[in-house]
A and B are shown apart, each in its own frame.
Chain A
């Protein structure tokens, strides 16, 4: 079983990349907002960019080691890289895009068939749909027999429908594949569906690595909590006052060591007027209502909270049937608070 070991540092103007992780067959996800260094990390692994210092190894092959001045060129790394924009050879048909890599007509035909693109084998990338291009790129990548698969936001250029289909196809490819793979994404749902372990990149630094279940249940930092989709976050005083939200909370035992708290937008419940002024209860002042496809998104703040922090505006996601005028008081369940140390 091959293991991919990455421990690299790279300066890029003001930006500092500092990433260290290890992965074997468990699909690894790098989750981060745009500009957090996700793609840069993949490019360093693939040998497209050169780290300033550090170490990259795949199984017993050292791909990069600054202390020993080893820097294996891209073409010898046996790294499968799926580019955001597919990066197909535009002057070649789908068939030739694959055949130029494996130089084996039977293998090419087999790959075309496997990805259901044998019908467009003689089409050039400009004549194919986004989905067909991504399938060709996937087939081309496999034609090189990679020892690690790197996926750089592979669905970002696809529409919703194609996204779902291609995602399943890539999932199947990765499930059959017996080497390590790294998926770069900013989409928590995609990462949750595709991968087993999640690493969070924040401004160039890998701040957290966890398996996906515990990552979504107990994110360790504000950055991670936001990336898991937690919409409401506040800083917390030692006696449980939510400074951004402007209400008193009754957090569970031992919570005084936590500096922040998060609460998911669909966990709020309507409360009666008698609860006014009690802990965990908001007196709601609705700022705006956004009609989403299958839900209503209500942005509100605690009445009289003059904080200018963007976190003072909370988000409540509820069903379409709820009448906004009825929402006077909302309570949160303190056991569902996500408590964060940093």
Chain B
């Protein structure tokens, strides 16, 4: 059995999670400062959560495809995103972004305002407050968001298929592998992949559930 879909899925999830963690954290931090227009901006950032995967795939294709502005820039460097694992990572990133962003924003908002205000009156800069107070206090929530966002990449199917296609050993992820196996009536292969995906998900969720106890020990 060719295990490449497992490694490809893992690679895509990892790349997507790293990227989404950095952008999600910075944007969530920025949004906590917003007073006006927050409801709208928050809705736009959460849109991938509710849009159909095909719509997301379509939007990604027209923004990074070979005819797009970004696509042309990448082309001039002799590279492209469509039909590559990096393209799949972009699809996974877009779809898992709201999970990360909303989770981190919620965790940052849990930090008592008076603690942040105290930091300011004591002369600490905003970044220092983020690094030495908000992040440590929000750590359990942030870690949970990272795990959930990583798990969300596993379930990505539609947008990935549209952007990266279904190239075995290159862009074929586990969820796509189940679909391909079923299409070619290879039920036993589909069954194996289903079992692997369930085991993989279970491990992630068990890790998730152990997190609140980390928090309790810390206190």
Contact = CB atoms under 8 A, between A and B. Distances in A.
B115 interface: yes
Given A83-B118, A90-B115, A101 B124 contact: yes
Contacts of B120: 47-48, 73-75
A140 B124 CA distance: 12
A308 interface: no
Please indicate which of the listed interface residues B118, B120, B219 has the most CB atoms of chain A within 10 Å of its own CB.
B118
A126 interface: yes
A326 B219 CA distance: 59
Contacts of B122: 75, 101, 140-141, 143-144
Interface stretch (B52-60, B79-87, B89-97, B132-140): B132-140
B139 to A, nearest CB: 8
Please indicate which of the listed interface residues A43, A74, A88, A92 has the most CB atoms of chain B within 10 Å of its own CB.
A74
Given A48-B120, A101-B123, A83 B114 contact: yes
Contacts of B118: 81, 83, 87-89
Interface string A115-134: 00000000000100000000
Interface in A79-129: 79-81, 83-85, 87-92, 100-101, 126
Given A89-B132, A91-B133, A126-B219, A75 B117 contact: no
A296 to B, nearest CB: 41
Given A83-B114, A85-B114, A100-B132, A91 B137 contact: yes
B121 interface: yes
A9 interface: no
A46 interface: yes
Nearest to A91: B136
Contact of B114 (A75, A80, A87, A143): A87
Contacts of B219: 126
Nearest to A46: B121
B106 interface: no
Contact of A74 (B112, B114, B117, B132): B117
Interface string A65-82: 000000001111111110
Nearest to A98: B122
Contact of B123 (A48, A78, A92): A78
Nearest to A145: B123
A90 B137 contact: yes
A191 B19 CA distance: 55
Given A83-B114, A100-B132, A126-B219, A89 B123 contact: no
A147 to B, nearest CB: 11
A46 B136 CA distance: 25
A95 to B, nearest CB: 14
18 contacts: A48-B121, A74-B120, A75-B120, A75-B125, A77-B121, A81-B118, A83-B118, A84-B114, A87-B114, A87-B118, A88-B115, A89-B115, A91-B136, A91-B137, A92-B132, A140-B122, A143-B122, A144-B123
Given A81-B121, A89-B132, A89-B133, 7 more contacts: A43-B117, A47-B121, A87-B114, A89-B119, A91-B133, A101-B124, A141-B122
Which 9 pairs between the two chains have the least Cβ-Cβ distance?
A: A74-B120, A87-B118, A91-B136, A87-B114, A81-B121, A144-B122, A48-B117, A101-B122, A75-B120
